[in-house]
Each structure stands twice: as structure tokens, then as C-alpha cells.
Amino acid sequence: MANLYSFEYSLSQSLEIAINEYNWALISFEVIDWLTPGRPVVISAPSNTWMVVLDPMKPGGPFEMMAQQTFGTRNITLKVHDILFGDVWLCSGQSNMQMTVLQIFNATRELSSAAAYQSVRILSVSLIQAEQELEDLDAVDLPWSKPTSENLGQGNFTYMSAVCWLFGRYLYDTLQYPIGLISSSWGGTPIEAWSSGRSLKACGILNQGPIPQDSVTGPSEHSVLWNAMIHPLQNMTLKGVIWYQGESNMNYNRDLYNCTFPALIEDWRQTFHHGSQGQTERFFPFGFVQLSSYLSNDNSDDGFPQIRWHQTADFGSVPNLKMPNTFMAVAMDLCDRNSPFGSIHPRDKETVAYRLHLGARAVAYGEKNLIFQGPLPENIELLAHKGLLNLTYYQQVQVQRQDDKIFEISCCSDHQCKWLPVPMSTFSTQTLTLDINSCYGTVDALRYAWTLWPCEYKQCPLYHPSSTLPAPPFIAFILDQVPGH
């Protein structure tokens, strides 16, 4: 049997289920399998790879499946028991996705509560690289299993992802039916390692350039993790994917991330749709975490802010025209200057997963009127004669505290521009006014939270008033330019 399958298995429930089996010893055989008595499926397979597509199943379980191979007078019977039907989510990325429950805030509480979630099943893919696309996983660190304090707390950056687990737990609390979670991540890796050659070619990346060793510490060769840790999963029927990656592209192909990330999403969607015989939706939901904060000696470095912006394909929010059916968890306010794993690895993964699950509920599960993202301005008006810049937000905004540095304007004079911080002047439930009197030239752009470390923990100035969701960072050009004032 393929390495994906084990004795405590979770299958998608919303569509028909495609199950692939591999037996390299037999060339011709028949298979009978049951999920309920009296409903056998008989297959004559002329090759060493075969597939059974089951009828749609309602969420629930446990069930048992038996596969009986017959050739000549010999019968070989395999049983898979404790099968649940529900939604399967794939979790991927680099070290912030790879961090385990043992490494996060409230680890003891989370580990002790794991036993209460026996309808959430977890699988962790081994760290493997390959030069060519593999059809089956070479190995798994954790086969399909029930969650325990042991397999969720194996150590640092090993076994099961904390973000993945918490995301699934929050979903289960809402949906109350089985959830399957596949963790496939590797720290210190750029997006190019997770991308197929097709998607890289779509962004004009044909050859591998020099790799900066300070930000890329894991496998960096193009497509090696796609080949070994993602492509073998293509036959799975997925509900969706969550992704936490980008730190390793801060100094590597940063300016292409607004292409490579949407291209990865599109390529994964095509691959999983075709690989599952159409059982995975063509445009399945894809969620991601916008990069958190990072302490650096050079706070003027705008690599992190640029990656945050490029994660949205330069729109500032998702879903958008280039990234349909996506959702994002903003994490720039979840800083952790005392993290023993470095500030680049903040320990509050509960809030990250909670924000992700809100996006999934809205985008993947269609919950109407659910607030799942913070306020973003829909109109910026320059009132140069008054020395003001007026922002109108598309939803309500709460000014949690005054901040005279988090907004900046690009002030241009004599063909030179520089960024100047501007204070907040007045605000209401959906508007905010900035005092731009410090600029004696032309104001041609505005940006918000465009820094490595925008604020202290959950202390950014702008949030949605009825949630704990922060306003995301943005940059915008001012079209109505009026010189001087």
C-alpha cells in the first residue's frame, strides 16, 4: 500500500474519494473492498497501480476497509480500520509552520487537551528531497494517527506542525466532524524549493541563482521539496491548503515573490485537481500567514515589508483578482522578542491558527457576515490646502492607540523623495485623518506598518472594533498630487 495509508486514516467526505494503492510485486489481480457490508467493489487491474473511487460519504466513522487481492489460488487480504470521513487540509511552508506544539505558548495546556480531539487525525511527511517528481512518499515521520501529547510534542521543529494542529482543532470545534491534517514543511526553505519547474518558468525563473546563506538554511535547489514532499500527495482529495513561508525569500528572489507565490498556488491547484481525478476542487481554498515581526540591527531593511506586500500579489488583501479563493492571517502584531528560537519564530501560534481558521470558515465554508480580516482603506484623499490626508476604510476601524510613526508619506522635492512619519490627527468609525504638514514638497505615496517590527505584541494602532484582527500593512500611491501647501 502507498505510504499515505495507515491504520488510523482520514478521508475527504465532500466528493467521491479516489484511493490509490501500490503493489509492485503483483501484475494482475482483483480487489474487493468494503466500507459497509454488502457493497463490494471488484476491480481487475492489469498493472501494478490501481484506483478505487468510492461513493460520497457523509462525515463520520469509524469505518473499516478490506482489500482482497486474488491471483490464481492465492488470496491476500489487507485491512485498514478506524477510517473517518471529513475534510483533509495540507499544511506546508518553512520553520514557522514546522514549529511544534512543544515550542509554543500554552504548550502544556494544548498537549493535555489533545486527547479530547480523537476525530482529528494527523500525518507528518518526512524531510525528503528528490531531483525528480516522486509518485509515492519515501517516508513519513508520523503515519495517520490520533493526536496525543507524545506525537504533538516530540521536540523542536519535528513531527507535527503546531499551526497545522491548532488550525484543525479550531475547525473541528466549529464543524464538529472529522478533520485530517497533513504536515509537510521544512525550515529555512525558499518558495522555489516548493515550486514545480512549470510554475517557476511561468515567472521567468529558468536557472538557479546564488543563494544567500544567511536567510536560506534548508534545501534551496529548485523543486526538490515539490518533487518529494508535495507531488506524492497529489492523489489525495483535499479541502484546502494552509501555508506559512516567505522569510527565506527576504533576500532571495524577493521581487519575484508577487509572481512565484500566486504561481505556486495555481500549480498546486491544477496538480491536486488532476491527480485526484477531479475530486479536489479546481480552485480549492488556499490560506496563508502574512509574515510576523523580526528584530534586526538594520530596522530600515524593508525586505520583510516587501514580502508581506508581495504575499498578496501587491493588492494588500485577499482574495483578489490574482489570488482568488484565498485567505490570509495577518501576524505582524504577534511579535516575540524573547523567543528562545529567535524573534523570527514567535511562539503565539494559537492566534495565528485562530485567524487562519476564521479565513477558512469564510472562504472555504462560506460563512456569511463572518469578520475574517482587518480594515483596509478603500479611498485616500489628499487635502493639500489643509495639510491633511484623509483615509476612508471599507469597514469599521478602531484606533486602539495613537502612533505618530506607523504611517509614512513619501515627500518629494527637487526630484528627490524620502519617507516621513506622519501623526494621526482625527478619526471616526470609518475614517482616519493624517497630518502631513511636515512635507513641504509633493506627497506622492502613503504606507502603513512598513517596517520589520510595526508594533509590540497585539499593540498595533488599528484593529477591527468587533474582533482582534489588525489592519494589514499597505502602500499606496497618491494620484491627486498637489505640490506644496
Which one-letter amino acid corresponds to residue 185? S
The pLDDT tens digits of the residues spanning 79-101 come to 888 889 999 999 999 999 999 99
Whole-number percent of the chain with pLDDT over 90: 74
- Condensed to tens digits (0 to 9), the pLDDT of residues 291-304 reads 999 998 776 678 99
pLDDT tens string 174-225 = 999 999 999 999 999 999 999 999 999 999 998 877 777 777 899 999 999 9
Note the helical H segments in 283-345: 303-310
For 254, the grid coordinates are 524577493
pLDDT value of position 446: 97
Model confidence pLDDT, tens digit, residues 109-147: 999 999 999 999 999 999 999 999 999 999 999 999 999
Check if the beta carbon of residue 133 is closer than 8 Å to that of residue 167.
no
Q: Are 18 and 276 in contact (CB under 8 A)?
A: yes
Model pLDDT, residue 7: 43
- Answer yes or no: same fold for 10-83 and 85-363: no
Please report, rounded to a whole number, the percentage of residues in the chain having pLDDT higher than 70: 88
244-281 tens-digit pLDDT: 999 999 999 999 999 999 999 999 999 999 999 999 99
Ramachandran angles phi, psi of 51, nearest 5°: -140, 140
Do residues 400 and 461 touch, judged by C-beta distance below 8 A?
A: yes
Confidence bin at 41 (pLDDT 50/70/90): low
Which pLDDT does position 4 carry in this prediction?
Answer: 59
| Average pLDDT value over all residues in the chain | 89
Average of per-residue pLDDT across 369-385: 94
Residue 45 pLDDT? 61
Cell representation of residue 102: 512543544
The answer regarding whether domain 10-83 maps to CATH 2.60.40 reads yes
Extents of the domains making up the chain = 10-83, 85-363, 377-477
* pLDDT of res. 15: 38
Q: What is the 3-state secondary structure (H, E, C) of 142-171?
A: EEEECCCHHHHCCCCCCCCCHHHHHHHHHH
Across 334-347, average pLDDT: 97
Cα 121 from chain centre: 19
CATH number (3.40.50.1110, 3.10.50.40, 3.40.50.300, 3.30.70.100) of 85-363 reads 3.40.50.1110
Contact 437, 387 (CB under 8 A): yes
Predicted structure pTM score: 0.92
> What pLDDT, on the 0 to 100 scale, is given for residue 335?
98
